[in-house]
């Protein structure tokens, strides 16, 4: 779990992956590392309280059932997987179904709760419904330095292997102007309890909004599927402000030539 202001590092890993894909004539493998933003069910197999295995998680997933994804529906790796032409997203590495040909699809090693601290979420730290100024400042210090480290790594390798995804800016866009993206609010989570539905995870006893597409945040920590789609769209088509040094469309074009 992570607050939007600090997710850059976590998502970057997810976004790096399509570049390290193993490519055969007809398929790409996709490996995912990270936290609950990209966990597709590993924590179902672990003794942890960071779980998304009961309703209403998954309420908008194709099966309408919880899968361990911290989303009302699809998460970011699901949407990337779709766009790189996989027939199904990589399975959690702990899933007993990850065998045979399915291994060729890659695997998801993400686990919710990595680095979980009480430092994240708006209800505990924010003031008057705003984001926590201290955490925003921490992200503002961290993110440019991450960009520098990645450029350095690319220089050392001699190729653009690492791509920085400016998820802080992506979130900032719909947090500051939710209406422009079709959201009714970015301040209140769809599912949760307490101020802004911002305390704890979503549970069967939580408040649940009727239309998830109107909310930028599904629960206190995680974007809704609709917001995930906006993020992934930027990953594929964003300018250098969002995707450094290049977006995933460009990467796939380069990859297709080799
Ligand atoms: C986070 O806060 C809860 C509730 O106040 C507390 O029980 C828990 O120990 C805290 N966890 C950490 C890592 O500080
Ligand atoms: C990113 O992707 C789009 C294709 O959707 C492309 O037209 C665009 O020029 C790319 N790069 C940048 C830097 O915007």
pLDDT digits 0-9 by tens, 84-99: 999 999 999 999 999 9
- The answer to whether position 258 is within a domain reads no
The predicted pLDDT at position 242 comes to 96
In a domain? residue 3: no
User: Has residue 30 got a pLDDT over 80?
Assistant: yes
> Residue 14 phi/psi, 5° resolution?
-60, -40
Residue 186 falls inside a structural domain: yes
Q: What is the 3-state secondary structure (H, E, C) of the chain?
A: CCCHHHCHHHHHHHHHHHHHCCECCCCECEEECCCCCCCCCHHHHCCCCCCCCCCCCCCCCCCCCCCCCCCCCCCHHHHHHHHCCCCCCCCECCCCCCCHHHHHHEEECCCCCCCCCCCCCHHHHCCCCCCCHHHHHHHHHHHHHHHHHHHHHHHHHCCCCCCEECHHHHHHHHHHCHHHHCCCECCCCCEEECHHHCECCCCCCCEECCCHHHECECCCCCECHHHHHHHHHHHHHCCCCCEECCCHHHHHHHHHHC
Which of 2-6, 49-53, 164-168, 206-210 holds the top average pLDDT?
Answer: 206-210
> In angstroms, what is the span from residue 154 Cα to ligand 2's centroid?
20
Task: With a cut of 80, say whether residue 195 has pLDDT above it.
Answer: yes
Give the domain range for residue 75.
9-253
Residue 2 forms part of a structural domain:
no
Chain segment 1-25, per-residue pLDDT in tens = 333 332 333 333 333 333 345 555 4
Give a yes or no: residue 123 inside a domain: yes
Q: How far is the CA of 48 from the centre of ligand 1 (A)?
A: 14
Query: How far apart are alpha carbons 60 and 88 in whole angstroms?
Result: 17
The number of the ligand nearest the C-alpha atom of 247 reads 2
For residue 193, pLDDT over 70 is answered with yes
Least confident of 103-117, 152-166, 215-229: 103-117
208 in any annotated domain: yes
CA distance 81 to 84: 5
* Residues labelled as active-site residues: 36, 219, 222
Would you say residue 118 has pLDDT above 80? Answer: no
Within a domain: residue 1?
Answer: no
In angstroms, what is the span from residue 38 Cα to ligand 2's centroid?
24
Closest ligand to residue 244's CA: 2
Q: Is 161 part of any domain? A: yes
Per-residue model confidence (pLDDT) at position 65: 98
Percent pLDDT > 90 in the chain is 68
Number of domain units in the chain: 1
pTM of the model: 0.82
| Average pLDDT score, the chain | 85
């Amino acid at each position: 779990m992570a607050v939007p202001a600090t997710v850059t590092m976590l998502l970057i890993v997810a976004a790096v992956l399509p570049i390290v894909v193993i490519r055969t004539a007809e398929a790409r493998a996709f490996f995912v590392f990270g936290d609950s933003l990209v966990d597709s069910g590993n924590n179902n197999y672990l003794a942890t309280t960071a779980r998304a295995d009961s309703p209403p998680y998954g309420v908008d997933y194709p099966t309408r059932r919880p899968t361990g994804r911290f989303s009302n529906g699809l998460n970011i790796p699901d949407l990337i997987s779709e766009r790189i032409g996989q027939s199904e997203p990589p399975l959690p590495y702990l899933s007993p179904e990850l065998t045979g040909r399915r291994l060729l699809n890659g695997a998801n090693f993400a686990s919710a709760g990595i680095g979980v601290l009480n430092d994240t979420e708006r209800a505990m730290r924010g003031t008057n419904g705003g984001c926590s100024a201290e955490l925003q400042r921490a992200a503002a210090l961290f993110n440019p330095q991450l960009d520098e480290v990645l450029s350095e790594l690319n220089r050392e390798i001699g190729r653009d292997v690492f791509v920085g995804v400016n998820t802080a800016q992506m979130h900032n866009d719909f947090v500051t102007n939710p209406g422009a993206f079709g959201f009714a609010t970015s301040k209140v989570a769809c599912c949760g309890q307490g101020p802004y539905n911002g305390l704890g995870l979503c549970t069967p006893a939580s408040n649940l909004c009727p239309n998830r597409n109107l909310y930028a945040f599904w629960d206190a920590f995680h974007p809704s599927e609709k917001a995930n789609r906006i993020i992934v769209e930027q990953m594929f088509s964003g300018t250098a402000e969002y995707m450094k040094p290049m977006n995933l469309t460009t990467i796939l074009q380069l990859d297709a030539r080799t």
